[in-house]
């Protein structure tokens, strides 16, 4: 059984929020060769004059073409840590899905609005990097371009929102324990399906929005309800239908072209990735074990592939 899943910290500079390494994982040697065998591999590419890297997991039995999930680690996390911690390789094996784990520069992402850490200070073009990584994967594996999805934890969740705001890479996104940074440019996003998961009592990325201080960092978050409304409007959705199974409250807006925008709120829980294998976060918060975020995100993604054009 995997070790208990720990919450991923928001910023690279915050040692107090160091991500749990999850289960032991021995990375293979870096390679730029095409994928020829199942399993994990690491790859490098140069984007904007900067060397970047990502991990790739290819299951033994692939769908043809396969869906692709881009899993974005949290602040002070890594591709290796994300692969070990969230159970996406299991989803890949069960459903023939390919999983891409990009590595943030300085263990963080430039998610917009001044967040987060060194990538934001340096103006790192993480949008270009992740788009290039997806293209690189498509050269190695047959990928269904209508089934490319983005998931993320904390700072990675924020980065997933930025990618949805500024590209059309994804048919759907699944941000967990993260919201849109105040100041993120997102004036006219393309319609997309969204499943957002957030603990109501999160003290690091505030569910109700506003500024929080973590270590030496200040995080300015947009309220989750406002984010939910933004994406529902972008996709021209109907009014929400709300269901409750405490501590979960799920608000779902059905949209044209079989899209959906959904917000899953978890009362009494904080900055975490819900999992049946969850224990406690580094800050001593209990992880909600009654819901498998990874399995639920995949089920949502699988049901909301991009409709064929024409």
Give per-residue pLDDT as tens, 34-45.
Answer: 544 799 999 999
Q: What is the pLDDT of residue 84?
A: 95
Q: What is the pLDDT of residue 34?
A: 52
What's the predicted TM-score (pTM) here?
A: 0.88
Q: How confident is the model at residue 280 (pLDDT cuts 50, 70, 90)?
A: confident
Helix, strand, or coil here: 266? strand
Please tell me the distance from the alpha carbon of residue 231 to that of residue 188, in angstroms, as a whole number: 10
Radius of gyration of the chain (CA): 18
Alpha carbon 176 to its chain centroid, in Å, reads 7
Residue 23 has pLDDT above 60, yes or no: no
Omega before 298 cis (within 30°)? no
**Interval 89-99 mean pLDDT:** 97
Degrees (nearest 5) of the Cα angle 229, 226, 195? 60
Q: How confident is the model at residue 283 (pLDDT cuts 50, 70, 90)?
A: confident
- The DSSP element (H or E) to which 143 belongs, if any, is strand 143-153
Please tell me the distance from the alpha carbon of residue 172 to that of residue 269, in angstroms, as a whole number: 25
Q: How confident is the model at residue 214 (pLDDT cuts 50, 70, 90)?
A: low
Structure tokens at 232: 């529902």
**Residue of higher predicted confidence among 241 and 27:** 241
- Dihedral, CA of residue 172, residue 196, residue 155 and residue 292, to nearest 10: -100
Please tell me the distance from the alpha carbon of residue 25 to that of residue 241, in angstroms, as a whole number: 41
Is residue 266 within 8 A of residue 200, CB to CB? The reply is yes
């Amino acid at each position: 059984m995997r070790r208990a899943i720990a919450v991923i910290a928001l910023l690279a500079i915050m040692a107090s929020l160091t991500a749990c390494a999850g289960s032991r994982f021995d990375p293979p040697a870096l390679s730029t060769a095409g994928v020829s065998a199942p399993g994990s591999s690491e790859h490098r590419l140069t984007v904007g004059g900067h060397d970047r890297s990502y991990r790739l997991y290819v299951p033994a039995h692939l769908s043809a073409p396969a869906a692709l999930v881009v899993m974005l680690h949290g602040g002070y996390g890594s591709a290796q840590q994300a692969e070990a911690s969230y159970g996406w390789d299991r989803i890949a094996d069960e459903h023939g899905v390919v999983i891409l784990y990009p590595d943030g520069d300085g263990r963080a992402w430039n998610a917009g609005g001044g967040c987060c850490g060194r990538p934001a200070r340096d103006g790192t073009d993480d949008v270009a990097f992740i788009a290039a990584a997806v293209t690189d994967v498509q050269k190695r594996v047959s990928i269904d371009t209508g089934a490319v999805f983005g998931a993320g934890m904390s700072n990675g969740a924020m980065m997933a929102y930025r990618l949805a705001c500024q590209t059309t890479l994804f048919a759907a996104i699944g941000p967990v324990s993260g919201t849109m940074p105040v100041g993120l440019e997102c004036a006219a996003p393309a319609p997309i399906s969204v499943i957002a998961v957030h603990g109501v009592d999160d003290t690091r990325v505030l569910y109700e929005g506003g500024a929080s201080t973590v270590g030496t960092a200040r995080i300015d978050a947009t309220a989750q309800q406002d984010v939910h409304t933004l994406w529902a409007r972008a996709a021209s959705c109907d009014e929400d239908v709300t269901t409750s199974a405490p501590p979960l409250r799920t608000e779902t807006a059905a949209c044209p072209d079989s899209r959906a925008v959904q917000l899953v709120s978890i009362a009494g829980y904080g900055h975490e990735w819900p999992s049946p294998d969850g224990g406690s976060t580094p800050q001593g918060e209990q992880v909600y074990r009654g819901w498998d975020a990874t399995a639920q995100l995949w089920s949502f993604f699988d049901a909301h592939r991009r409709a064929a054009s024409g």
